[in-house]
Amino acid sequence: MKQLFQIGLDLALASLNPIISWFMLSLILDSRLINVFSITYPLQFVWLMLRDIFGVGANLVSIKVRNSKIVDAGIFTGLIFSGIIFGLVALNIDKFIIFMNADPSIYRDFCLYIALQLWIQLVFCIILDKLYYQDKNKIANKYSLTFNLLNFIVFIGASFLTKNSKIIISATLLTIFAFTLFVFIREVRRVSFRFNILRSIKINSMDFGENLILFFVYLFGIGKAFSFGEEYALAITFVTLITDIQWDVATAIQTKTKIDIAKKRMNFPKSYKNSYVLIFVLILSSIIAFVSMKNFYDLNLGISITFVIIEYLAFLLYPQYRLKLDFIQLKFSAKIATFIKSSAMAFRLLLVIVFSPITPFALSIAQVLAQLYQVIFVNLVFSRRYKILSTGRAIRKNQK
């Protein structure tokens, strides 16, 4: 439970920082800048795919083959590879903004900032992944808190001192780059580029495939939902605002599950209990945010409540498939786990494409139906091959 909430704290800080930052920046400089968060939202899934490979994937491979050098090689290779990816985004930032149906003259500087900030934060977070898998959670929490505080204080503080976006961006990027360099020098011991990207993708292929499809889901889905009018656009933005942090924190469940499975200490009843404690805390925090913030917006409460109820249903379904899916991936067959996840995500993308022209709730409905698909499919695969003992450990059915 303690480690689960420690990982969740880091994820909350990483998620809370940009939401509050863009909200405050829009009040200080230009109200339109709040849209930077939405415009660059698909890039979060590029970031997650890269972390799946060079962070989580590298650590899982390292444990499997018992070679700690792979972790540092993942950090070095990830630094270069992700730098190229986000560098290409930065060089083509105007084209990206236009594709997202926005005005480059308004959003260019801060979308460019996001591209570069994501690169620095990725390097920082794959170092944190190394610390998590070494059970150095307190050190990782301290680093994470310092990074996010520095990012927020310099970003918002500079915006109070000057209206020059280039000065604000430069000061912030230099600060977080310097701190990341400090952590890099302190925690990365070996210089190595001998890293097998395909092996890392394979061992964490399920999450990689999910984030790849989600990139396309949100790249195309959000804009279509906004076409139904301002009431729906505002409701979607509001519900995203009060649940985005919670979804990021909920991914601590899969991080903790993978650590427990890799270290052969997985206890299913205990893990389910801890997961739902976290889920209920997240739903409660979202309800509090809804009640306290709804008066700041001209919301249609009926539409907003419909969106948020569907989101809460998705939260409740999440642990029902996630724990066993990770177990199938790491202990039985990565290919089967990847197929389940990929087919569910493909199903979700198909639903978005089919229903987006019909209903503004397409994204939310597709999410829940894809989760129900995974609950059914995962439990069928798991129950045919494994049983959970009274001790909480899962063994094959033909094993005594």
49-53, 143-147, 202-206, 216-220 — which is least confidently predicted?
202-206
Q: Are residues 101 and 229 in the same domain?
A: no
Report yes or no: 69 and 190 within 8 Å, Cβ to Cβ. yes
pLDDT at 3 > cutoff 60: no
**pLDDT per residue as tens digits for the range 171-189:** 999 999 999 999 998 888 7
Q: Is pLDDT at 126 greater than 60 in this prediction? A: yes
- Residue 182: partners with Cβ closer than 8 Å, 6 or more residues away: none
Give yes or no for residue 400 having a pLDDT over 60: no
Same domain, 288 and 261: yes
Confidence (pLDDT) at 150: 93
The whole-chain average pLDDT of the chain stands at 83
CB within 8 Å of 240: residues ≥ 6 apart: none
Handedness of CA 260, 261, 266, 271 (dihedral sign): positive
What is the predicted pLDDT for the residue at 383? 87
Last residue of a domain, which of 196, 222, 251? 196
**Cα separation of 273 and 268, whole Å?**
9
Last residue of a domain, one of 168, 196, 224: 196
pLDDT > 70 in the chain, percent: 92
Domain boundary among 146, 173, 196: 196
User: Could you read off the pLDDT of 30-49 as tens digits, one per residue?
Assistant: 767 777 777 788 898 999 88
Residues 186 and 216 grouped into a single domain: no
Residues 183 and 216 in one domain: no
Q: What is the pLDDT of residue 2?
A: 58
Contacts for 106 with CB less than 8 Å, ≥ 6 apart: 30, 32
Position 5 scores a pLDDT of 58
Name the domain count of the chain.
2
Q: What is the pLDDT of residue 244?
A: 82
Q: Distance (Å, rounded) from C-alpha 395 to C-alpha 398?
A: 8
Higher pLDDT, 115 or 208: 115
The answer to whether the beta carbons of residues 3 and 256 sit under 8 Å apart is yes
Q: Give the range with max mean pLDDT: 126-140, 166-180, 209-223.
A: 166-180
Query: Does residue 376 sit in the same domain as residue 238?
Result: yes
Higher per-residue confidence, 11 vs 247: 247
**37/122 same-domain check:** yes
Q: Are residues 162 and 191 in the same domain?
A: yes
* Per-residue pLDDT band at 147 (split at 50, 70, 90): very high
Would you state the pLDDT for residue 69? 77
**288 and 149 inside one domain:** no
pLDDT of 308 above 90? yes
Question: What's the pLDDT at 44?
Answer: 87
Q: Which percentage of the chain shows pLDDT scores above 90?
A: 26
For residue 341, pLDDT beyond 90: no
Shared-domain flag, residues 50 and 173: yes
Regarding whether 9 and 51 lie in a shared domain, the answer is yes
Q: What DSSP string describes 368-380? A: HHHHHHHHHHHHH
Per-residue pLDDT reduced to its tens digit, 60-96 = 877 777 777 777 777 888 888 889 999 999 999 999 8
pLDDT of 288 strictly over 80: yes
Measured distance between the N- and C-terminal CA atoms of the chain, rounded to whole angstroms? 30
* One domain for residues 228 and 325: yes
Distance CA 121, CA 14 (A): 9
Tell me the residue range of the domain where 47 lies: 1-196
At residue 12, the pLDDT reads 61
Higher pLDDT, 385 or 309: 309
Task: Specify whether 68 is located in the same domain as 85.
Answer: yes
When pLDDT is averaged across residues 312-337 and rounded to a whole number, the result is: 87
Q: What confidence category does residue 170 fall into, taking pLDDT thresholds of 50, 70 and 90?
A: very high
pTM, 2 dp: 0.74
- What phi-psi label fits residue 57: left (phi over 0), alpha (psi between -120 and 50 degrees) or beta? alpha
Task: Give one DSSP letter per residue of 59-101, joined into a string.
Answer: HHHHHHHT-THHHHHHHHHHHHHHHHHHHHHHHTHHHHHHHTT
pLDDT digits (tens, 9 = 90+) for 366-379: 999 999 999 999 99
